[in-house]
Each structure stands twice: as C-alpha cells, then as structure tokens.
Amino acid sequence: MATIKPFKGLRPDPSLAAKVASRPYDVLSSDEARDAAANNPYSFYHISKSEIDLPAGTDVHSQQVYDTAASNLQRFIKEGILLQDEQPVYYIYKLLMDGRAQTGLVAVSAVADYNNGLIKKHEFTRPDKELDRINHIKTTSAQTGNVFLAYNDVPELSSIIDHWQEQHAPVYDFTADDNIQHTIWIVDAPSTVADISSLFARKVPHTYIADGHHRAASASLVQKELQASRKITGAEDPANYFLTTIFPASQLAILDYNRVVKDLNGLSKEAFLSQLDYDFTVEEIGHLPQAPSMLHEFSMYLDGRWYRLVAKEGTYTTDPIGILDVTILSNNILDKILGIKDQRTDKRIDFVGGIRGLQELVKRVDSGEMKIAFALYPVTIQQLFDIADSGNVMPPKSTWFEPKLRDGLITHLI
C-alpha cells in the first residue's frame, strides 16, 4: 500500500500568502517570472526562479542560480515571510477554477514507493530537467515543487476532508491573478491525522503521478545520493519523502497538450498535405481556430489556415498506448512525415499547454518561429491510469492539468 506522512510544512505568514504564491517554476520562462515578480519582494519566484535576481542572460543552470535560491530561502525564513509548523500536520488544498473545484491532501509520500512502483508513472523524464531540480533541492535543502498525485476515490477519506473544511477556518484563502481561488486548511488534530494515515494505508494501494515526474525523479535521485554519502540519518529522515498533493480522480480534468513544429522536413506545403492523405481525412476549415471535438480528430494550423484531420482506421491500435491521439500524431505525422523521432530531445518541436488556448498556436506560427501547429483532443484520466497500470509510458507532454498548485504555499525541508 502507498505510504504518506504528515510533516512540518514551511509556509507563508497568512498576511503574505497571496504575494508569496507563485505558479510552478516550469510553466513560465525566466522573463515571465521576472515580470511577475516585479515590485514584489515576497514572490516565491525569488526562490523557484532565482535567476530573476541575477543579470539577464545568466545561465539558469549555473550554481550561482541555485546559491541565490538558497540564500533567498534563508532570508525569507529569517524575515518571517515563511514560517515552519511545529508539529507534523496534513494540509487540505482546494482549488476553484471556472466554478469547478478540486480538493487534495498535502502530505509527504515515500521515495521508496516511487522507486518500487507504488507511485505509478506515465512519462519518461529528461536528464537535463532532472539535474536542474536535483541541484535546486541539494543546494536549498528543500523541495519547493509539489508533485501532483491522483488516486481512485476513497469515499471515507473524502468524507474526512469535507468534514474538516466544514468545521474549521482555512489558514489561506485568496484568488490569484489568473482568477483561480486557492484555499488551504491545516489538519492538526492528532486523531484526524491518525485517521487519515490509517485510512490511506488501508484503502489506497497506489497513487499515480498526474504532474511532476521530474520533481519526483529528482527527489529519488537526491535521496539515493544522500544515502550513498551517509548523510541520511535514519528511516524517518525527511529526504526519504517528497512533497505531494493527492487528489481523487473524479475531481480532475486534463486539458489538451498541443504541438508546434519549426519546419515541414524539407517538404512543400502541397507535398505535406498530400502525404497526410494516406492516414487522415483532411478538411480545410478556414481562418478561425476550431478545437478537436472527439478522439482521433486533430486541428492543424498551417500558412494561416486551419484544417481538420481525422485518423483513418488502421492508423492506430486499441491497446492503452496505441489508441492515444498523441501516439497517432507521433507515429503518423511527427515521425513518419516530419522526421521527429524523439520528442524529448528534438529541438524542432515544442509543446503548448491547452490553458494557453489555440490563439497561442496561431501566435507561434504567424510569428515565423514555427511553421505548423497541431491541437489534440485531451487524454482522459482513465486513459492515464490504464497506461500507468500497464507499465507503459505516454509520449512526452501528453497531459496538461489545470488548475495548477501554487509554489511557495507549502515547502518540505529536507
């Protein structure tokens, strides 16, 4: 069964929570973070994207950046911007976006569960992104990025969480600049903490990584390195656990994760469209963006025009991986026609989260930065679970979850 624990979270003074809270470090650029933190000395970007405090053009993977993050974290603690709870507790984290709520339990999960497959994965990770988080964790001695986990619903656990919200006031409750409401409760009653731990141990055999594969992998690698150097003091050492927020599957929604490509692999527009005809029915639909309306349907933007592509029978299989639209696109267009063999490493392709909308695809292509864009129908949570259960992995950047947790509201010190 999966193992979780309460912990002594490092979190903002309640009067500063809205100013501290920041979007996840990996969903915006350094320039975007610098703009977002302008005139806000409390922004967690000073820790999670600390290059904003260094000259523009500084290598974001340099040790200077990680040292600055560590220095800023210690300053936030010294100045009382961040405070640590005195006793191990759980936290309830509710997000409200466009009228839809999802409520998770913030806990630390066992690195051993990640290593042993009780925390199931659906993506490969990139070594360069792992190394970035490893260096950040080691230098700051903190896990500042939350790993977003999902589990099959447990009604008894949901009942405890609902009851606590009804009976207690939140410690934080604010609406961020993107209109997402963030509300957090501290679960500090020893009996309730024990009930949650016991129920989870009995009812949740495993969890699934929804978002945060690199953060989880980095926590595991840091733990391994600390064990090898004998810097871990025992089984309960904080480095044996990593920061997670765990949501019941029924509350989650996955958005599309779209692709933009720099060129047509030496083909003319006409030759490219001709090759598409082998595996797709192709229909030009005009200048206005139109999202796919069902599985196996794609929207494509090329030279100022939108096209609808529908995969023909025989272009996909019915196994958990083969039936995915990201697999159909990867096999029949990105690889077969455009020559993109490895989306994790090929510099000709980039990924655009669905939260940015189809206009972001138009912008990237019309600017001349990219040549062509593809919009996909979202993966379902059940598809994600099926793939993770089968031991397979999705193609890179298959899922985009919204709303996203804010960095800085709860940090795990190791």
Reported as a single tens digit per residue, the pLDDT across 190-202 is 999 999 999 999 9
Contact between residue 414 and residue 137 where contact means Cβ atoms under 8 Å apart: yes
Amino acid 106: pLDDT: 98
Tell me 240's DSSP state.
G
86, 89, 234, 279, 280 from 8: Cα distances, Å: 6, 6, 17, 54, 54
Domains of the chain, by residue range, sit at 4-253+403-413, 257-377
**pLDDT of 340 higher than 90:** yes
Give the model's confidence band at 167: pLDDT under 50 very low, under 70 low, under 90 confident, else very high. Answer: very high
| pLDDT, average across residues 306-322 | 92
Amino acid 126: pLDDT: 81
Helices (H) and strands (E) in the chain, counts: 13, 21
| pLDDT, average across residues 136-143 | 97
13, 71, 73, 76, 112 from 79: Cα distances, Å: 10, 12, 10, 5, 35
Strand partners, 299: 308, 375
Amino acid 273: pLDDT: 97
Would you call 71 exposed, middle or buried from its count of C-beta atoms within 10 A (0-12, 13-18, 19+)?
middle
| pLDDT, average across residues 357-385 | 95
| pLDDT, average across residues 389-402 | 85
Q: What are phi and psi of 166, to 5 degrees?
A: -70, -30
Give the model's confidence band at 127: pLDDT under 50 very low, under 70 low, under 90 confident, else very high. Answer: confident
- What radius of gyration, in Å, describes the C-alpha atoms of the chain? 22
Tell me 336's DSSP state.
T
- Comparing 321 with 173, the larger pLDDT belongs to 173
Percent of all residues in the chain with a pLDDT value above 70, rounded to a whole number:
100
83, 101, 374, 394, 395 from 330: Cα distances, Å: 46, 33, 11, 11, 8
CA distance 9 to 241: 13
| pLDDT, average across residues 287-302 | 95
**pLDDT of 396 higher than 80:** no
Amino acid 158: pLDDT: 96
Q: What is the CATH number of domain 257-377?
A: 3.30.1760
Average pLDDT, the chain: 94
Give the model's confidence band at 230: pLDDT under 50 very low, under 70 low, under 90 confident, else very high. Answer: confident
- Whose CA is closest to 18, among 412, 405, 408, 355? 408
**pLDDT of 355 higher than 90:** no
Amino acid 232: pLDDT: 79
Name the token pair of 206: 């495993």
Long-range contacts of 128-135 (CB under 8 A, 24+ apart): 128/61, 129/26, 129/214, 130/214, 130/217, 130/218, 130/221, 131/61, 132/60, 132/61, 133/214, 133/215, 133/217, 133/218, 134/218, 134/221, 134/222, 134/225, 135/61, 135/63, 135/66
| pLDDT, average across residues 170-184 | 96
**pLDDT of 128 higher than 90:** no
- Whose CA is closest to 258, among 286, 292, 282? 292
Global pTM reads: 0.86
**pLDDT of 148 higher than 80:** yes
Contact between residue 404 and residue 178 where contact means Cβ atoms under 8 Å apart: no
Amino acid 81: pLDDT: 98
At 48-63, the pLDDT tens digits run: 999 999 998 999 999 9
Alpha-helix residue ranges (DSSP H) falling in 120-254: 127-140, 155-167, 190-203, 213-228
B/e letters for 220-257, b = 16+ CB within 10 Å, e = fewer, are bbbbeebeeeeebeeeeebbbbbbbbbbbeebbebebb
Name the token pair of 339: 């020559």
Give the model's confidence band at 131: pLDDT under 50 very low, under 70 low, under 90 confident, else very high. Answer: very high
**pLDDT of 356 higher than 90:** no
Tell me 8's DSSP state.
-
Amino acid 73: pLDDT: 98
Q: What are phi and psi of 404, to 5 degrees?
A: -100, 150
**pLDDT of 170 higher than 80:** yes
CA distance 233 to 189: 28
Amino acid 310: pLDDT: 97
CA 368, 363, 346, 334: dihedral to nearest 10 degrees?
-100
| pLDDT, average across residues 337-362 | 92
**pLDDT of 27 higher than 90:** no
Round to the nearest angstrom and report the end-to-end CA distance of the chain.
Answer: 24
Amino acid 241: pLDDT: 97
| pLDDT, average across residues 33-39 | 95
